[in-house]
Amino acid sequence: MRIDILTLFPNMFKGVFEESIIKRAIDLNKVEINLINFREFTKDAHNKVDDTPYGGGAGMVLMPQPIFDCVKSLRNDSSKVILLTPDGGLFNQEKAYSLAKEKHLILICGHYEGFDERIRSICDMEISIGDYVLTGGEIPAMAIADSVVRLLPGVINEDSSNNDSFNHNLLDYPTYTKPRVYEGMEVPEVLLSGDHKKIAEYRKNESIKRTKKRRPDLLKK
Ligand SMILES: C[S@@+](CC[C@H](N)C(=O)[O-])C[C@H]1O[C@@H](n2cnc3c(N)ncnc32)[C@H](O)[C@@H]1O
């Protein structure tokens, strides 16, 4: 998979893709991640990429030309162009799985007051990562890239992602490690029994119990 991230602030990504599982996925050539500063595509004499909104109002708005030209230079038949915007469809694990099947993602990070409405016309999809407003699309791009890359074949153990929260509309079951007793709190006996059938039953029940209590909306699905 290739992920191209269009941003005015590529330095914000420093570190994020240079550690842990995402770094390993890059090193193993499971994914190529490119940070592209769309300011390099502006035709404005003063290198501008934004301007004041028509009709007045606060803030600066990203102009269409640099983003149109940048996307044009990257797009191919298998590209999925995604605009990051608070009014987009809410991102979730199902969308992460679906994006993990794509060959090429182009993520457009807005900034300032937002972007010229005409930029939507070149996008295949619009995504929000939650009902709150961030200063830019960079953190949403990091969240989406991270959640998608870990689902690519060979990046993490498939058993591990299969049991993750939101798969089968359930939250994950509780997990424990050593020591057996910590500050008076004991590991449930069944996990020490060595009986794999019983352990699987216990985990399934705990998963359902936890989902009922914390996210009953998932069970309705
Ligand atoms: C300050 S926000 C603009 C908010 C815009 N005025 C609005 O109310 O919808 C600047 C940029 O950050 C990104 N952004 C902010 N919150 C986001 C969210 N929850 N999900 C995805 N992108 C977001 C978008 O790219 C947006 O254009």
pLDDT per residue over 171-190, tens digit each? 999 999 999 999 999 999 99
Out of 39, 164, 172, 203, pick the active-site residue. 164
Do domains 2-149 and 163-220 share one topology? The answer is no
Residue of 36, 68, 64 whose CA lies nearest to 50: 64
CA gap 150, 172 in Å, rounded: 17
Q: How would you label 45-75 residue by residue, b for 16+ Cβ within 10 Å and e otherwise?
A: eeeebbeeeeeeeeeebbbbbbbbebbeebb
- Residue to probe by mutation, ligand 1, list 8, 67, 84, most atoms within 8 Å of CB: 84
Q: What's the pLDDT band for 28 if we cut at 50, 70, 90?
A: very high
Compute, in angstroms, the gap from residue 86 CA to the centroid of ligand 1.
5
Structure tokens, 201: 């039953």
DSSP three-state, residue 58 = coil
- Return the H-helix or E-strand segment holding 163: none
pLDDT at 160: 82
Ligand 1 atom closest to 91 (CA): 20
Q: Residue of the nearest CA to atom 6 in ligand 1?
A: 113
In this prediction, residues 134-155 reach a mean pLDDT of 97
Name the average pLDDT for the chain.
97
Report the pLDDT averaged over residues 6-30. 96
Asked if CATH classification 1.10.1270.20 holds for the domain at 163-220, the reply, yes or no, is: yes
Pairing of strands 185-186, 114-115: unpaired
Per-residue model confidence (pLDDT) at position 41: 98
Confidence grade of residue 159 (pLDDT, cut at 50, 70, 90): confident
Q: Kindly report whether the global pTM for this prediction surpasses the value 0.75.
A: yes
Q: Is 215 annotated in the active site? A: no
Ligand 1, atom 25, residue with closest C-alpha: 110
Cβ pair 199, 189 in contact under 8 A: no
Residues 133 and 214: their CA atoms lie apart, in Å, by 25
If phi > 0 it is left, if psi is from -120 to 50 it is alpha, else beta; for residue 112 that is left
To test the ligand 1 pocket, which listed residue (5, 63, 85) has its Cβ within 8 A of the most ligand atoms? 85
Pairing of strands 125-128, 79-90: parallel
Domain spans, the chain: 2-149, 163-220
Give the model's pLDDT for residue 221.
79
Task: State the CATH architecture for 2-149.
Answer: 3-Layer(aba) Sandwich (3.40)
CA distance 188 to 208: 17
Nearest CA to ligand 1 atom 7: 86
